[in-house]
Structure 1
Amino acid sequence: MSYFTNKTVYITGAASGIGFETARQLVSQGSNLVLFDVQPLDEALAALQAMNKSNISITTYELDVTDADETTKQMATAAKNLSPDILMHFVGITGPWSFDDMSQEQFERVMNINLFGTRNVLAAVRPFLSRGDQVMVTASMSSFTGSYGYSSYSASKFAIWGMMQSINYEWKPLGIDITVFAPPPIDTPLTRAEVGVMSQAGVGMKKLAGELKIENAVKSMLKGVENRKFLVVPGVMANFIRLQQRIFPVSWVNWVGGKMVAFSLRK
């Protein structure tokens, strides 16, 4: 028996990347899965059903998290069939453009999907959460530190970090536990799409935090949810960066980052 056995887990962004890997790991732990994505879920569902030895329930719903009304309707429809014990929210995009090269449309798209999409999902699922239930929201190491070429992405993730801290104060007394998952770069279709788009300086700064294998990152996240931890930061380098931000003055942290940018630009 696993902590997640017989629990109903809602997973957004389940068609690929971290969302799909989470669903894959939870299938073997006997969770009932309710999957959401704006992308087709047929391939993901087929792969998960092939692993479904315990005959758990796996259902799918199309969902565009930027549409608040649709999100409310789809969550309500899903909850009529299976009410959530745990929500795991993974929907997000990167924004690998320097500020000077980024259009207003690009900036707004990142904010709409990452920040407003998160808000829409939380608002839609809230009526179906009760004491003992849990919410896991994906943030990033970019929730705590800016990076070259990530002004839109960091803005959205800083906002998510602040929003989740505030919601934790409101929901914790009601018995609803919050986990914020703040990983360093992970090898996913999302990060691979940055190749050739992000500048060399941005790539150099990202390397400071290291890159995790997706399987290990998800295992760390699931362990954090099981232990009802508020913040999960997987990876040695990511935790080192987080520690130095808490110990050293921001001027020193900025100096180190500036040196990395200068070194990368000279290559």
Structure 2
Amino acid sequence: MAGRQSPAKSVFITGAAAGIGRAAALRFAAQGWFVGLYDVNAAAVGALAAELGPDRALAGALDVSDAQAFAQAVSEFVGAAGRLDLLINNAGVLLTGDFESHGPERYQWLIDINTRGVVNGCLAASPHLKPGSRVINMCSASALYGTPAFAVYSASKFFVRGLTEALNIEWQRRGILVMDLMPLFVATPMVAGVSDKPKSIDRLGVRLSAEDVAATLYSAATRSAALCPVHWPVGLQTQAVALLQKLTPSRLYRWSQKLITGY
């Protein structure tokens, strides 16, 4: 792999075994990108890499909460691809229910993946990013306003939002664009696997597919930098929620959150 010809562009994707990560991998590979497939589920990303072929993908096991492992994975990927044009920090986990329904160990698990994982990814990628490179962090509509039944998950996505906004400014001087995506509920194994389903999922519905999000990811990766917002609400429903949050007085928006979530 080290001697392979450098592709037109390359993308490193975390959480690539299923859902949004897998859909993004297929989308970018179809457009000629060399794709890095990384996930704790090594068998799944290995199978996807075999499906795409060695000239289009490289797979590896990765726990994003392990900074050293992340740095090594990115370095090995750049050695194979010859460059790093895009990092997609997609890996994430979800816990729902009343705040007290989970203990500190479970919340630490979520925080380590959803926040530390994004920090580790940005740090690991930074030495390899050149002018014109981009970083896209998977955020959430729950980062628009703290969301009942998703409290710690929502807080972790506020972290991602804040980091994205700061790095978007810091790394501008390096010619690197940092953005995030903010979808509402997406039809993925993560959402389908929720055992204590909050009322908001039923009331708002799951209207986005992983392919919808992958399409927005590709737009964020390829659109002219001058036309790229920092935050990308995915889908008309999410865009409407984002606009409502921006225009509605905080007390009224808080009331709408209570109405939607049943709290």
Same fold by TM-score, threshold 0.5 exceeded?
yes
Q: Which amino acid aligns with 2:21?
A: G
Shift of 1:261: 3.5
Which whole-Å CA distance do the structure 2 matches of 1:68 and 1:177 have between them? 22
Which whole-Å CA distance do the structure 2 matches of 1:167 and 1:209 have between them? 33
Which whole-Å CA distance do the structure 2 matches of 1:58 and 1:261 have between them? 41
- Alpha carbons of 1:99 and 1:59: their partners in 2 closer, same or farther (altered >3 Å)? same
Q: Which has the higher strand share?
A: 2
After TM superposition, the runs of 4+ consecutive aligned structure 1 residues lying more than 6 A away are none
Q: Which residue of 2 aligns with 1:27?
A: 29
For the residue of structure 2 that corresponds to 1:182, the secondary structure is: strand
For the residue of structure 2 that corresponds to 1:131, the secondary structure is: strand
Which whole-Å CA distance do the structure 1 matches of 2:70 and 2:122 have between them? 10
Give the length in aligned residue pairs: 252
Shift of 1:209: 7.0
- Alpha carbons of 1:250 and 1:7: their partners in 2 closer, same or farther (altered >3 Å)? same
1:134 aligns with 2:134: yes
Whether the aligned pair in 1 keeps the contact of 2:136 and 2:179 (CA below 8 Å) is: yes
Structure 2: give runs of 5+ residues left out of the alignment: 1-6
Which whole-Å CA distance do the structure 2 matches of 1:140 and 1:257 have between them? 15
Task: Provide the TM-score with structure 1 as the length reference.
Answer: 0.88
Structure 1: give runs of 5+ residues left out of the alignment: none
Whether the aligned pair in 1 keeps the contact of 2:37 and 2:45 (CA below 8 Å) is: no
Q: Which amino acid aligns with 2:41?
A: Q
Written as runs of structure 1 = structure 2, the 5 A alignment for 1:38-53 is 38-40=40-42, 42-47=43-48, 49-50=50-51
Written as runs of structure 1 = structure 2, the 5 A alignment for 1:55-94 is 56-82=55-81, 83-94=83-94
Q: Which amino acid aligns with 1:29?
A: Q
Q: Which moved more, 1:73-82 or 1:145-154?
A: 73-82
**Percent same amino acid among aligned pairs?**
25
Q: Which amino acid aligns with 2:220?
A: G
Q: Which residue of 2 aligns with 1:223?
A: 219
For the residue of structure 2 that corresponds to 1:65, the secondary structure is: coil
Residue-by-residue CA offset, 1:97-122 (whole Å, 9 max, x unaligned): 21121211121111110001110111
Shift of 1:62: 1.2
Shift of 1:260: 2.9
Q: Which amino acid aligns with 2:109?
A: R
Q: Which residue of 2 aligns with 1:249?
A: 249
Written as runs of structure 1 = structure 2, the 5 A alignment for 1:1-267 is 6-40=8-42, 42-47=43-48, 49-50=50-51, 56-82=55-81, 83-194=83-194, 196-199=195-198, 201-204=199-202, 207-208=203-204, 211-227=207-223, 228=225, 229=228, 230-262=230-262
Whether the aligned pair in 2 keeps the contact of 1:24 and 1:48 (CA below 8 Å) is: no
- Alpha carbons of 1:72 and 1:258: their partners in 2 closer, same or farther (altered >3 Å)? same
Q: Which moved more, 1:180-189 or 1:209-218?
A: 209-218
Over the aligned positions, Cα root-mean-square deviation in angstroms equals 1.9
